[in-house]
Structure 1
Amino acid sequence: MRNVLTAGLLCLAAASVGAQDLGKKTFEQCVACHSLQAGENGIGPTLHGLLGSTAGTVEGFRFSGPMKRSGIVWDEKNLAEFLRNPQALVPNTRMPFSGLTDEAALKALVGYLAAATK
């Protein structure tokens, strides 16, 4: 029984590392505009401290009116919804990204951002 439990835990750990790697790889398309470093805005706002923050409030970044008025407090669920189709969640957002349709990559990216933006 102990060997089965150990093998199960190793499989879960490997899956977690795989998802983290996929999330990091998926994020590579985001770094052209976004940083994970506090105060480091680029074409897009820094993502540092993203979860739990209110959309459109990163200091020093000029957001669209719709994003500022959205009232969204970012959590993993609405972040996934936004990344799946930004214009559907916040019509007329300035983010020129059409969305991420690969569900495994989307889930991995949200998990990666949840860990990397604290």
Structure 2
Amino acid sequence: MWIAGLAIAALATAARAEGDAAAGEKVFLKCRACHQVGESAKNVVGPKLNGLFGRKAGNVEGYSYSEANKNSGLTWDEATFKDYIKDPKAKIPGTKMVFAGLKTDKEIDDVVAYLKQFDADGKKK
């Protein structure tokens, strides 16, 4: 019986780790003052976030990044982004991103699920 309980707990954890894109769209409202996603996304205060995962940091054409971001050597994967979005200035000292960060794992997982939907052209996958 305890094995079944462990299996259920593991599945629940895996499901949570995947995030909920619909919930992530609501979390993204915290980001939207500076960032856009989607087919009509533009660079504003921050760069557009289409096709974020797999992209090198400081690499969106037409956006003026801080030297710290351009020279960070980071490539955005889920683990790197999750660490960054908790406390951007701790991950990239000198970044010009003025955001306190997302503090809960659920919000972070959800916003990751939301952002993963958008390819480099802003089309939903």
What is the TM-score normalised by the length of structure 1? 0.80
- After superposition, the CA RMSD in angstroms is 2.0
Q: Which runs of 5+ in 1 are unaligned?
A: 1-11
Greater relative contact order (Cα < 8 A, sep 6+): 2
Deviation at 1:64, TM superposition (A): 0.4
Q: Partners of 1:65 and 1:117 in 2: how far apart?
A: 26
Report if the CA contact (8 A) 1:80-1:106 is conserved: yes
Q: Which runs of 5+ in 2 are unaligned?
A: 1-11, 121-125
**Structure 1 match to 2:71:** 69
Higher share in helix: 1
Q: Percent identity?
A: 38
Q: Partners of 1:20 and 1:58 in 2: how far apart?
A: 23
What is the TM-score normalised by the length of structure 2? 0.75
Q: Which amino acid aligns with 1:35?
A: Q
- Following TM superposition, where does structure 1 have runs of at least 4 consecutive aligned residues deviating by more than 2 angstroms? none
Q: Partners of 1:117 and 1:111 in 2: how far apart?
A: 13
User: Residue 49 in 1 paired to residue 51 in 2?
Assistant: yes
1:111 aligned residue (110, 113, 122): 113
The alignment partner of 1:28 has SS state of: helix
Report if the CA contact (8 A) 2:57-2:70 is conserved: yes
| CA deviation profile, 1:5-32 (whole Å, cap 9, x unmatched) | xxxxxxx9xx78x822211100011111
Q: Which amino acid aligns with 1:73?
A: T
**Structure 1 match to 2:90:** 88
